[in-house]
Structure 1
Amino acid sequence: MGAEVEVKDEESITKLSTKSRFRYNSPLVQVSLIGLVCFCCPGMFNALSGMGGGGQVNRTATNNANTALYTTFAVFGILGGGIYNILGPHLTLAAGCSTYVLYAGSLLYYNHQPHQGFVIIAGALLGIGAGLLWACEGAIMTSYPPPNRKGTYISLFWSIFNMGGVIGGLVPFILNYHRNEAASVNDATYIGFMCFMSAGTLLSFAILPPNRVVRDDGTRCTDVKYSSVSKEATEVLQLFTNWKMLLIVPAAWASNFFYTYQFNNVNAVLFNLRTRGLNNVFYWGAQMLGSIGIGYILDFSFQSRRMRGFVGISVVALLGTAIWGGGLANQLPYSHDRPQSEKLDFKDSSFAGPFVLYFSYGLLDAMFQSMVYWVIGALADDSQTLSRYSGFYKGVQSAGAAVAWQVDTHKVPFLSQLIVNWSLTTISYPLLVLLVMLAVKDDNKTEDEIENEAPVPSSNKDINSTAIST
């Protein structure tokens, strides 16, 4: 009788191990939820920005707003990891998400009252909120998954997040299909974005703190208490002398710098209003493909973790060189002084070449950023350290973006912008290789060996104990 009970217990544990990945408190569900939050907020913001000028004919207001946005983002991106460690995910995410709603509302206001002051203030507040959101997101995405599957979970997040850009691109395409090219996008477009962003703010309360997330092997993501202001201030300051973070700086600076060029000087300059929305559907769709592809390479291509890192960086470097080379060929025929005579529509025969290039830019963006996140995730396992690392990455990234928006505002030649973008990404590859070589611990164990070493939960209660509480 006792033996039968023991056998049944073992069978129930085996079934639990198979089904547990779909528990509410599992890393899979929690990473999917943070993906949905980002789908609704930064995903929709990306669709809005991708139209060039936030959908406005005059890009000056949004360029200045984006400068304010990324300036405050640079500061709060770095501070965001410490704030997350003090407040936890609920307050950090909700505060961050609400600023996206305000920014979309400011552009709705600008449609009727073309005074850029409100848009710039909303942009500055969004920078604060984005710093909080992305530091929280980075901690969740890099610390919740099992160590040997971080690339897969990053791909999952990136796919869900960028689906927001796909859906968000359809909104302006459909609602402005017959709209005059000389007009800005209509009010309904901004209202639609605000509805999605509001939903994301509410959804942020569904995210569990790290000490209540249980992996399939029964281990918790972390069991640390939230930190203090003095400790976080000290830890954040030390990031600026951390050699690992210094090696990431060029990649971080480059990773948002190219958005200004791609959105304003390729999509907005070459294509008409409705086609820009359609292009963004495929730009963000390409990001989904890119993240899945690089995620597979970084998790499954080789047994050695270091080798996977080297191969992933090499693939992105080769693809990036080819895509920026294509961008150079596309850029040579037009400039500020030699504008294209007529903007392209998706029905034009000459649409295909520039469209494929813009699609490829989206593919490269996802592969580049997923690769950097994988490297960051390989540097540590606990959420506190990774929240600081992710916050530093987003802070430097945003400082680069702030500079890029002002570069475009001051009418720097398109060709110069392209060369700078290409150079920044190229410089980052050997530094990331060096970081993987020096700081990433190799892991040559097979999946079976990892599973055999993993602790088995003594009962269903241990693994599901936090599922009923949010």
Structure 2
Amino acid sequence: MTDTTEEIVLGEVIPSTDMEAYRSTVPLWQRVWRHSLTQMMLLSVQAFCGPAMSDAIAGLGGGGLATPTVSNISTAIRYALLAITCGLGGPIVNKIGVKWALVIGSLSFPIQGSAYYCNSKFGNQWYLILSGAIGGVGTGCWYVAEAGAIMTLAPSRSRGKYLALWIVSRNLGQLVGGAINLSKNHVKGVSGGVTPDTYIAFLIIEALALPFAFLILPFERVVRSDGTRIVTSETLSTKHEIQRIVKTMTSKLVLLSALWAMWSFFYSGSWSTYLAIHFTVRARALSSLISPFFCIVGCFGLGFILDMKSLNQRRRAQLGLYTVVILNVAVYIWSIVMQAKFNRHDPGHIDWDSGVYPSSFLPYFFVQTTGPLSQSYMYWLLSSFATNAQDNVRNGAAFRCIEAVGQAIAYGMNSQTQADPLVGFCVTFGLLGAALIPMILLVNTTPDQIPADVIDGELDVADKKLEGTSIEPPVDSKGGRR
């Protein structure tokens, strides 16, 4: 048994464990492995190897192909099946556990890179389309597990910074992908797709996610940096899990955030098409290299706002929402104006030494920050309503499902309107406007303290009454919570 204390921050009672006793009884390597930041970093490495490499391929413009049509069709299928998998993902992940869902997803990551290689090397388009279907199912399992983990692992007052770390890892993947692409496609005047060897490098990185997935621990074995415990609920039957996910999908939390979820990644299809139509191969390569840099600053800046100790949780939620919306509105107005200008006067394929390159590239540069900010904020907000880790998995599954529906529609739409990204830009901007009022209503109901923290505090009080001045430690000798 270990003694506990209670930290009071802005009226919040946050139970904490005697970390000194924990450090004296558990070996250093186990403490490092169980640490919430370590687990978040392991998850971020997988995000770097998998989704980030996928984003890097998309950043080539149509997957780096001479025409983006096939890539858009493959990606639309991918996100359609991803949406279905995410819809059923809550029960699946809560049954098999986060670790094994991540393992299944990691196995599917290299398929995309290999499919683009086969397309580029042999002109094999059927495998590219099939890879979208396989990747949709595998990545769907991974996305649900990832969403539950990123909303659960962080201490209450560090969620913004933890989410920034995760978002940055995804964008660093695009940075590395851009460096690989630029090193192989820097010769001026090259047209068509990127070199086949480019996809070999992506394939190798995608394959590295699997060993890191095996290092993920169950939530009950994780020890947060502030000593607070992760609240978990008992395992439910498949029937009850399905009932819970249906309840989650029809809850006020999901219904009010649904349009925001659909909008949050809708921009990616339009911008992939924009790059493919208007930029040379080496200009796309340079764009994919430098676009993630500002995201690092932006994400940690938003994390600072969301973790401000001087404001309660509701005020931080409101301030974060207005920050994200204002930045996105500015970028979308700029992008619409730029594409309308291109529709009047076709600039041809823009190279990086062209005079119009800076003004045409900067909207893409900034949307690579404002888009991730929107997603990071939404996960922070969802975690503010959770009562336990399983709730985070279900909420994350619902959000991922709706988000994938939006991506499927976006890529499907762009496969039909590839000659004019302005349609995608306007639809995306309209979705933001439609999502704003429901989001304001939701944000204004944000609790001042995470319900899971309240429950954990009540459990500590109950334990003290039963056992005097001591309670159960966060982990027992075998690493599980008693």
Q: Indicate the residue corresponding to 2:284 in structure 1.
A: 276
Q: CA deviation at 1:400?
A: 1.0
* TM-score normalised per structure 2: 0.86
- Distance in structure 2 (CA, Å) of the matches to 1:429 and 1:377: 19
SS of 2:342 mapped into structure 1:
coil
Please state if 1:112 is matched with 2:121: yes
Partners of 2:170 and 2:470 lie apart in 1 by: 36
Aligned to 2:141: 132
Pairing partner for 1:252 from 242, 256, 261:
261
What does residue range 130-169 of structure 1 map to in structure 2 within 5 Å?
A: 130-169=139-178
The amino acid that maps onto 1:360 is: F
For residues 211 and 177 of structure 1, the distance between their equivalents in structure 2, rounded to whole angstroms, comes to 49
Tell me whether 1:375 sits opposite 2:375 in the alignment: no
How much does 1:112 deviate? 3.0
Aligned mates of 2:150, 2:101 — CA distance in 1: 15
Tell me whether 1:423 sits opposite 2:430 in the alignment.
yes
* TM-score, structure 1 normalization: 0.88
Q: How does 1:307-346 map to 2 (within 5 A)?
A: 307-335=315-343, 339-341=346-348, 343-346=349-352
- What residue number does 2:362 align with? 356
Give the equivalent residue in structure 2 for 1:64: 73
The CA deviation at 1:404 is: 1.0
Moved more, 158-167 or 24-33: 158-167
Distance 1:25 1:97 in 2: 21
- For residues 1-80 of structure 1, the aligned pairs below 5 Å read 12-13=20-21, 23-80=32-89
User: Is 1:436 the equivalent of 2:443?
Assistant: yes
Q: Which runs of 5+ in 2 are unaligned?
A: 1-17, 451-455
What is the CA–CA distance in structure 1 between the aligned matches of 2:386 and 2:356, rounded to whole Å? 48
Question: Is the contact between residue 20 and residue 216 of structure 1 (CA under 8 Å) also seen in structure 2?
Answer: no
Q: Quick one: distance in 2 between partners of 1:375 and 1:71? A: 25
Q: CA deviation at 1:467?
A: 7.1
More displaced, 79-88 or 349-358? 349-358
The offset of 1:158, in angstroms, is: 1.2
Please show how residues 193-272 of structure 1 align to structure 2 within 5 Å: 193-265=202-274, 267-272=275-280
Q: CA separation in 2, counterparts of 1:205 and 1:21?
A: 15
User: Does the C-alpha gap of structure 1 residues 39 and 454 become closer, same or farther in structure 2, counting only changes over 3 Å?
Assistant: farther
**What runs of 5+ residues in structure 1 fail to find an aligned partner?**
1-9, 445-449
Q: Distance in 2 between matches of 1:301 and 1:430?
A: 27
Alpha carbons 1:82, 1:232 under 8 Å: kept: yes
- Partner amino acid for 2:327? L
Q: What letter is aligned with 1:427?
A: A
CA contact (8 A) 1:66 1:123 kept: yes
Q: Could you tell me whether the CA contact under 8 Å between 1:317 and 1:426 is conserved in 2?
A: no
Give, as a single letter, the amino acid of the residue that structure 1 aligns with 2:306.
Answer: L
**Pairwise CA distance, 1:454:** 8.6
Residue 133 of structure 1 deviates from its aligned partner by 0.9
Q: Contact between 1:283 and 1:360, CA under 8 Å: does it hold in 2?
A: yes
Residue number in structure 2 paired with 1:5: none
Deviations along 1:312-343, whole A, 9 cap, x unmatched?
111111111111111122111223x86322x2
User: Hey, what does 2:308 align to over in structure 1?
Assistant: 300
Following superposition, the deviation at residue 217 of structure 1 comes to 4.3
Deviations 1:149-168 (A, max 9, x none): 21121112111222111111
Shift of 1:244: 1.3
Amino-acid identity (%): 24
RMSD: 3.0
CA distance in 2, matches of 1:253, 1:415: 18
Change (3 A) 1:90 1:348: same
Question: What is the identity, as a one-letter code, of the residue corresponding to 1:415?
Answer: L
Alpha-carbon distance in 2 for matches of 1:275, 1:44: 18
How far the C-alpha of 1:429 sits from its partner, in A, is 2.6
Q: 3-state SS of the aligned residue for 2:225?
A: coil
Amino acid at match of 2:368: G
Alpha-carbon distance change, 34 to 348 in structure 1, aligned in 2, over 3 angstroms: same
Give the drift of 1:301. 6.7
1:394-451 per-residue CA deviation (whole Å, 9 max, x = no partner) reads: 111111111111111112643222111111122223322211222x21149xxxxx99
Moved over 6 A (4+): 14-17, 19-22, 453-459
Task: Report the number of matched residues.
Answer: 449
